[in-house]
Structures are given as C-alpha cells and as structure tokens.
Amino acid sequence: MPSSRKRLLASVLGYALMAAGTALAEEIPHERSIALIDKAWAVRLDMTGYRIQADGVKPDSRRYLLATNNAGAIQLSVTLEAVSGQATEQGCLAHFNRIAQSATAASSPGPTRTEMINQVPVLEYLLYETGGPGTAQLHLFACTVKENVYTDIHLSQSGATTADASPLRNVLASLSIVAAAQAGSLDYFRAGSAPYLQGHFKQAILHYERAIALERANPVLDKSLWRLLIHNLGIAYRRTGDLMRAKTTIDYGLSHDPANPFFHYDLARTYAGMNERDRAMQSLHDAFQHFRESHRHDAIPDPRQDVSFGRLMLDPEFRTLTESLMQPAI
C-alpha cells in the first residue's frame, strides 16, 4: 500500500491523531460514550474539561480514546478490548498484578492501594518522574467487564500525590453503561480498517460492506476517505477470491468517480485475476491515461512489478503494453 494511503488509513482509525497535537483536539462538552462497533452498549464517562487527542480503533481492533485536561495536568485513556471468551474480574486483577510487577521493577513507590469506585476495581499507583523522588506522577487504573469485553481506564496526573486523587476518582465515579449510539459509515470504516491492516479480510469485508451501504443511502465521507473505502473493499474481495464482488465494488466507484486512475488500475487487477486479458489491458491503459491527465504528484504502481499481473506478463502483447505505459510522457 502506498505510504499516502497508509497515512490516510491511520487517520481513519484515529490512533494517529495522538501525534497531531492540540490543533486537532476536540473539546468534550460533558459526557462521552465509547463503544465497540458490534456491541449495543457503550461505556460513558463524564469528561467535562477534557479535550480529545485520539479517538478511534487501533490496528489490533481495540477501541481507544485519549483525552487530556490541561488545567489539572491530567491524561485519560480508555481502551475497550474484545476477547475470545468471557471477560472476568479475575482477568482485571491479573492486569493489576502485571502493573504492580512493572512498578516493582521500576523502583517506583508503586501501588499504594486497591479500592472499589462505583463497583469497579481501581489500582492507585505512584511513579517517580524524571525530577526524582520529590516529583511523582499519580496513576489510577480501573478495569471493568461486560460480556467478552474488558474496559481499561487509565488516569494520570503529573506532580500529584495520593491526596490529590479526587479529580481522577470523580471521572471513575461517573462510569456507567448505556445504550450505544447508532454507528455511521465512518464507524464501520474504522472497524473494517483494523482487521484489514492485519490481513483479516473476511472480517474487514463485513464492516466495509456496511459502510458502503450507509454511504449509498446517506453519503457523509469526504472524497478521499470514500475512495479509500472503495479501494480497500475491492482489495479485500480480491484477496478472498471474490472477483465478481471486487468488480462490482470498483464499478460502483467508477460510476461516481470515472476519472479516478486508481479505480481503473484496481479494475485491471481484477480482470487479470479473471484471466480477461483484453479487459485488463484496456483498464490499465485507462488508468495511466487518467493518471497523466490528472497531473497527480503521487505515483501509480508499475504493473511490471505487480504480482496481480504475473500470469499476463507472460503474454508478449500485454508485456509490450506495460513497457509502453511506463515510458516517460512526452
């Protein structure tokens, strides 16, 4: 995948927004709900005074939110992770034990106590900062379970002690489980992109198809994201051997964006998989023609190096076409 598409896909997932800084930060008006795409419920917290720095899905499919409260020098992260079996309180306690072991290894003050806040187990933890023993960072780790999902909540405050934990505890005290809001096409796009990056194409297809259906009914994605959705779904279909659905997806893309060179290139790959040489050649020709007419600065793939065309490259006429397409434009 070209680096520009990787960056765009990372921004779709939302995890890359952490590096974007406060310019992209979104202020949270009051309460915020965080949910997995296939769950009817969500975790809700009162985040008044916090600003979102990252909100999306990690490449390993964990739902993730990062927010900061600059006034209190507090950082908040929420992670929802689905597991294969039932999530248990014992699993939460094992997580706390791993944190405690790490604290011991770091020679920090470590865990100061474990308590229950809003019926949720919470581990309080002090960690020395770079300034030495006189400067500590206060951490609160909370873990809750529902069905097969662990929700990990981590709050930290710089320059704080255990006596300063009230603002952190107040966030945890607001924790509740509520009905999840109806997911939109961007939510399904995010959910599909996580397994897509891991090569789990069948799982990606389930979410991408839903995103496409929602976009057909009510388009909301901007052009670049919509194009990436079409491209990724087409690839996912091809990688699972469903060439007819791959073609249908790309045809849909071309019906709305007929001059997109990368859609034509993807169509050529699909025809190559179908062993339809003439159609593959025509689509490849169209791809390079539209690419040159668009005066784009990004690069179009070299079909001579593309494994999708490996079998057709044995054909002299097809090979001659690819050589001509890769000649510099006059």
The pLDDT value recorded for residue 86 is 97
* Phi and psi at residue 97, to the nearest 5°: -65, -40
Residue ranges of the chain assigned to CATH 3.40.1000.10: 24-179
Query: What pLDDT does residue 23 have?
Result: 40
Query: Using CA atoms, how far apart are residues 103 and 117, in angstroms rounded to an integer?
Result: 22
CATH dotted code for 24-179: 3.40.1000.10
User: 185-325 has which CATH code?
Assistant: 1.25.40.10
For residue 124, the model assigns a pLDDT of: 87
**Which neighbouring-strand residues pair with 135?**
none
Query: Hey, what are 148's tokens?
Result: 């097969």
pLDDT of residue 242: 98
How many Å apart are CA 116 and CA 111, to the nearest integer? Answer: 14
Q: Residue 270 CA to chain centroid, in angstroms?
A: 26
Reduce the DSSP state of residue 35 to 3 states and report it: coil
Task: Specify the pLDDT at position 297.
Answer: 78
Per-residue confidence (pLDDT) for residue 250, from 0 to 100: 98
Number of H helices, E strands in the chain: 10, 11
In this prediction the pTM is 0.81
Return the amino acid letter for 51. R
Q: Please, what are the averages of pLDDT over each run of 10 residues along the chain (330 residues)?
A: 66 53 55 94 94 90 92 92 95 89 64 81 80 71 96 90 81 95 93 92 96 95 94 97 98 97 97 97 97 86 95 96 85
Distances from the Cα of 307 to the Cαs of 100, 276, 280, in angstroms?
Answer: 49, 16, 14
Q: Where are the beta strands (DSSP E) in 176-223?
A: 176-179
